[in-house]
Amino acid sequence: ARGFIFGTPIALEIGAKFVPLRKPNKLPGKVISEEYELEYGRDCLEMHLGAVEPGERALVVDDLIATGGTLCAAMKLL
């Protein structure tokens, strides 16, 4: 969730909406999910259903990139 620290002000600066991607059961309402590989197992990301419409552009901001699994899952959700 530390990515929120960077993502929110960047979205405001470029005039974009902020769409959080979270671990399971952290977002209210209907979500879509994507599993991804970790060095030591599997995890999952969720995003609000319909948060990003087809054809919209997205900027993914994360606070850490180790294996790239989170980034790959984010791209599939978008």
Set 13, 22, 35, 39: catalytic member: 39
Residue 22 designated active-site = no
DSSP assignment of 7-34 equals HHHHHHHHT------BSTT-S-S-EEEE
Cα separation of 53 and 67, whole Å?
27
Residue 35 designated active-site = no
The distance in angstroms from the start CA to the end CA of the chain is 18
Set 2, 42, 53, 57: catalytic member: 2
**Active-site residue set:** 2, 39
